[in-house]
Amino acid sequence: MDSLPIDVSHPAVQDYLSLVRLQVLTPLSLLINIATLLVCSIIVKPSVGSIINSHPTSISPSPNLIAAYVIAIFLGQIGYCTLLVVARKPETKTTLVRGVGLSLVFANWLMALWAVCWIFEFFLLSTILLGLLVLCLLYSNIALLTYHPPTSSRPLDMALIHAPLRFFLVLPLSLLFPYSLFLTLGLSYSPGHPEHYDRFAWPGFGVTFGTNIIGLVVVLMRCDIVWAVAATWICASIWSARPKPAPVYITVILFTVLHPLALLGTLLYRRLTNREGRIALPIHEEHDTGAPNGRGPREVDTALWGSG
The angle at the Cα of 188, spanning 182 to 194, to the nearest 5 degrees, equals 150
| Separation of alpha carbons 32 and 27, rounded Å | 9
Give the contacts of 295 (CB within 8 A, at least 6 positions apart). Answer: 289
pLDDT at 162 over 90: yes
Considering only residues 98 and 286, tell me which one the structure prediction assigns the higher pLDDT: 98
Mean pLDDT of 66-75: 96
pLDDT at 55 over 70: yes
Percent of the chain with pLDDT over 70: 85
| Separation of alpha carbons 239 and 60, rounded Å | 9
CB atoms near residue 199 (< 10 Å): 16
| Separation of alpha carbons 131 and 110, rounded Å | 10
pLDDT at 171 over 80: yes
pLDDT band at 2 (very low <50, low <70, confident <90, very high): low
pLDDT at 305 over 50: no
Locate the domains of the chain by residue range: 11-276
Residue closest to 22 by CA, chosen among 71, 113, 95, 76: 95
What residue type is 226 in one-letter code? V
pLDDT at residue 197, rounded to an integer? 78
pLDDT at 44 over 50: yes
Length reported for the chain: 308
| Separation of alpha carbons 129 and 110, rounded Å | 6
| Separation of alpha carbons 306 and 301, rounded Å | 8
Mean pLDDT of all residues in the chain?
87
pLDDT at residue 278, rounded to an integer? 53
pLDDT winner (highest mean) among 139-153, 221-235, 277-291: 221-235
Largest CA distance in the chain: 96
Query: Residue 168 phi/psi, 5° resolution?
Result: -65, -40
pLDDT at 42 over 50: yes
Mean pLDDT of 283-299: 47
pLDDT at 287 over 60: no
Could you report the per-residue pLDDT of 10-35, keeping only the tens digit for each?
A: 666 787 888 999 999 999 999 999 99
- Cα distances from 53 to residues 38, 50, 128, 271, in angstroms, run 18, 5, 21, 45
Q: Comparing 155-159, 292-296, 301-305, which segment has the lowest mean pLDDT?
A: 301-305
| Separation of alpha carbons 59 and 68, rounded Å | 18
Could you report the per-residue pLDDT of 252-274, keeping only the tens digit for each?
A: 999 999 999 999 999 999 989 88
Could you report the per-residue pLDDT of 95-151, keeping only the tens digit for each?
A: 999 999 999 999 999 999 999 999 999 999 999 999 999 999 999 999 999 999 988
